[in-house]
C-alpha cells in the first residue's frame, strides 16, 4: 500500500472518530461539514477542509460574556440541532466560561474564566452577548465586581478573535432605544455595541436572536482557515448578511405581482400575500432568515412565513428604531410600474358640510348656465329684430326709387 493510500486511511480514521464524538454516522458528519461549507459560500471541495479541521484540530476555547440582554441568543443556541448544544460545546468548541450554562457560580466561575484565558492566551475566542452600558462609568452592569466595560476590555486583550452575537452586542440593540420623552438623546444607560467600547472592528452577528448556524459557521471558518470570514462595513459575515431578506422571501412573487395583505386576518393575509404594507422590513434588511429558517422545525419557521412582518432586527437604524408597522425603504428592488402603487391614496366620503357646499356650487353653476342661455337667447332675438329692421329699410328705399 503506497503512502498516499495510508494518508487517506489515516484521514478517514480521524473523520470516523470525529463522527463518533458527535454521535453521527460518517455520512451524517460529512453532510454536516458540506452544509457548513455551503452556508459559508465556500467553493466545491471545501467540505473536505472543514471535515479535516473539525476532526483533527484542537477545540478552540470560547469565553462567552453576558451583559445587557435577554439571553435570547443563548436560548437560540440551545435549540440548534446540527449539532445539538452539548455536541457543540463538548466536541466542536470548548465553552470554558458561560454564566448561564455553568453549574458553578461566584468565585468558582470567575476562576474558571481566568484559568481558561491564561492557558489559551492569544488563542481563545471571545463571544459577547448583550449591550454594554457606558453612562456613569458603566455602573449599570457589574459582574464579579467589575463593570462590563472593564470585563470586555480585559477579555478582549488576549483573544484571537472577538465575536459580538446578537443585535445588542453588535450595535446596542433594544437597550439602546431612545425613550420617547422630551430632551432624550440616548438610552438611559448609554447602551453600546462591543466595537464602540473596544474602539476597533469586531465580527458582528446581529439578530434578535440571530440564527445559531451563523455563529457556528463563523467559528468553523476560524477553525478551518485560522481566520474569521469576510465581513461587510458593519462587521457582519458576508455569507449570512450580503443579501436582502426580501430577495429570497417566499412571498416575493406576490410583491412582484402587486398582491399585498392590507390588514392582519384579511383574505390576502390568509392567502400568503406580501406583508410589505403591514410594515415588513425585508426590503431594507440584510440577513439570511428566509433561506436557512429557524429552529430546525421545518418549512415556514421564520417570522414572515408565520404571518408577521420582518421588524428588521439585524439592521441598525431599522430594528427597534422604526415603528414595526411603518413602511420599509425599498432597496435595490421596485414593483412593476404597470401594477398599482405600493402607497395608494384612499378616497374618503364627503362630509355633510362638504356635500352642502358642493350642492351650492352645483346649483350656482346650473343657475349661471340658465342665465347664460337666457342671455344668449335674448341676444339672438335682438339680433334678428335688428336684421329685420335693416331689411325693411332697404325695401323702402328700393320702392321710392
Reply yes or no on whether the pLDDT at 320 is more than 80. yes
pLDDT at 132 over 60: yes
Q: Is residue 153 within 8 Å of residue 126, measured between CB atoms?
A: no
C-beta separation of 261 from 268 below 8 A: yes
Cα diameter, the chain: 148
> What does the pLDDT average to over 340-359?
48
Residue 335, pLDDT score: 58
What is the average per-residue pLDDT within 217-221? Answer: 86
- For residue 26 the three cell numbers come to 460518517
DSSP 3-state of 264? coil
Q: In what order do the strands lie in the sheet with 161-165?
A: 94-98, 61-66, 125-129, 161-165, 203-205
Convert 329-358 to b/e letters by CB count within 10 Å (16 or more is b).
eeeeeebeeeeeebeeeeeeeeeeeeeeee
Domain with CATH 3.40.50.700 in the chain: 59-239
By the 8 A CB rule, do 163 and 215 touch?
yes
> Quick one: angle between helices 26-39 and 212-225, nearest 10?
100
Q: What is the CATH number of domain 243-345?
A: 4.10.480.10
Q: Check: pTM over 0.95? Answer yes or no.
A: no
Listed in order, the ranges of the chain carrying CATH 4.10.480.10 are: 243-345
* pLDDT per residue as tens digits for the range 252-307: 999 999 999 999 999 999 999 999 999 999 999 999 999 988 877 777 889 999 99
**pLDDT at position 131 over 70:** yes
The listed range with the strongest mean pLDDT (170-184, 223-237, 271-285) is: 271-285
C-alpha distances in Å from residue 7, one per residue of 49, 54, 229? 15, 17, 29
Give dist(CA 179, CA 185) in Å, integer.
8
Task: Assign domain 59-239 to its CATH architecture.
Answer: 3-Layer(aba) Sandwich (3.40)
Higher pLDDT among residues 266 and 56, named by residue: 266
More confident: 36 or 104: 104
Q: Work out the percent of the chain whose per-residue pLDDT is above 90.
A: 48
Asked whether the predicted pLDDT for residue 70 surpasses 60, the reply is yes
d(CA 29, CA 12): 12
Q: Supply the pLDDT for residue 341.
A: 54
* pLDDT range class, residue 309, cuts 50, 70, 90: very high
100-109, 225-234, 275-284, 358-367: least confident range: 358-367
Check residues 361 and 139 and name the one with the higher pLDDT. Answer: 139
Strand partners, 95: 62
Mean pLDDT of the chain: 80
Which one is predicted more confidently, 333 or 8? 333
Measured from the Cβ of residue 58, the count of other Cβ atoms closer than 10 Å reads 9
Give the mean model confidence (pLDDT) for residues 112-135.
95
Q: What are phi and psi of 204, to 5 degrees?
A: -115, 140
Amino acid at each position: 500500500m503506497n503512502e498516499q493510500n495510508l494518508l487517506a486511511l489515516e484521514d478517514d480514521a480521524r473523520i470516523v472518530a470525529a463522527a463518533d464524538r458527535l454521535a453521527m454516522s460518517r455520512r451524517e458528519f460529512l453532510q454536516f461539514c458540506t452544509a457548513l461549507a455551503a452556508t459559508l459560500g465556500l467553493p466545491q471541495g471545501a467540505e473536505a477542509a472543514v471535515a479535516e479541521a473539525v476532526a483533527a484540530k484542537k477545540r478552540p476555547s470560547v469565553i462567552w460574556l453576558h451583559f445587557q440582554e435577554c439571553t435570547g441568543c443563548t436560548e437560540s443556541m440551545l435549540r440548534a440541532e446540527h449539532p445539538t448544544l452539548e455536541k457543540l460545546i463538548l466536541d466542536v468548541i470548548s465553552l470554558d466560561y458561560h454564566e448561564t450554562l455553568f453549574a458553578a457560580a461566584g468565585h468558582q466561575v470567575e476562576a474558571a474564566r481566568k484559568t481558561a484565558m491564561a492557558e489559551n492566551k492569544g488563542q481563545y475566542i471571545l463571544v459577547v452577548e448583550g449591550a454594554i452600558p457606558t453612562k456613569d462609568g458603566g455602573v449599570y452592569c457589574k459582574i464579579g465586581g467589575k463593570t462590563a466595560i472593564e470585563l470586555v476590555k480585559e477579555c478582549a486583550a488576549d483573544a484571537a478573535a472577538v465575536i459580538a452575537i446578537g443585535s445588542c452586542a453588535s450595535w446596542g440593540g433594544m437597550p439602546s432605544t431612545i425613550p420617547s420623552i422630551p430632551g432624550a438623546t440616548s438610552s438611559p444607560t448609554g447602551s453600546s455595541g462591543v466595537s464602540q467600547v473596544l474602539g476597533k472592528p469586531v465580527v458582528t452577528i446581529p439578530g434578535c436572536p440571530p440564527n445559531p448556524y451563523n455563529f457556528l459557521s463563523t467559528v468553523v471558518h476560524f477553525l478551518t482557515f485560522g481566520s474569521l470570514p469576510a465581513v461587510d462595513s458593519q462587521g457582519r459575515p458576508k455569507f449570512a448578511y450580503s443579501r436582502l431578506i426580501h430577495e429570497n422571501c417566499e412571498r416575493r412573487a406576490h410583491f412582484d405581482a402587486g398582491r399585498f395583505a392590507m390588514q392582519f386576518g384579511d383574505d390576502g393575509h390568509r392567502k400568503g400575500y406580501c406583508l410589505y404594507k403591514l410594515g415588513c422590513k425585508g426590503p431594507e434588511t440584510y440577513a439570511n432568515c428566509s433561506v436557512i429558517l429557524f429552529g430546525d422545525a421545518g418549512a415556514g419557521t421564520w417570522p414572515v412565513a408565520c404571518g408577521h412582518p420582518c421588524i428588521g432586527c439585524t439592521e441598525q437604524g431599522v430594528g427597534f428604531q422604526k415603528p414595526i408597522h411603518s413602511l420599509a425603504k425599498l432597496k435595490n428592488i421596485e414593483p412593476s410600474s404597470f401594477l398599482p402603487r405600493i402607497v395608494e391614496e384612499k378616497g374618503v366620503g364627503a362630509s355633510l358640510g362638504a356635500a352642502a357646499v358642493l350642492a351650492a356650487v352645483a346649483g350656482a353653476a346650473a343657475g349661471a348656465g340658465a342665465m347664460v342661455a337666457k342671455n344668449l337667447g335674448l341676444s339672438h332675438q335682438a339680433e334678428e329684430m335688428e336684421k329685420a329692421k335693416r331689411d325693411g329699410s332697404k325695401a323702402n328705399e328700393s320702392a321710392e326709387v
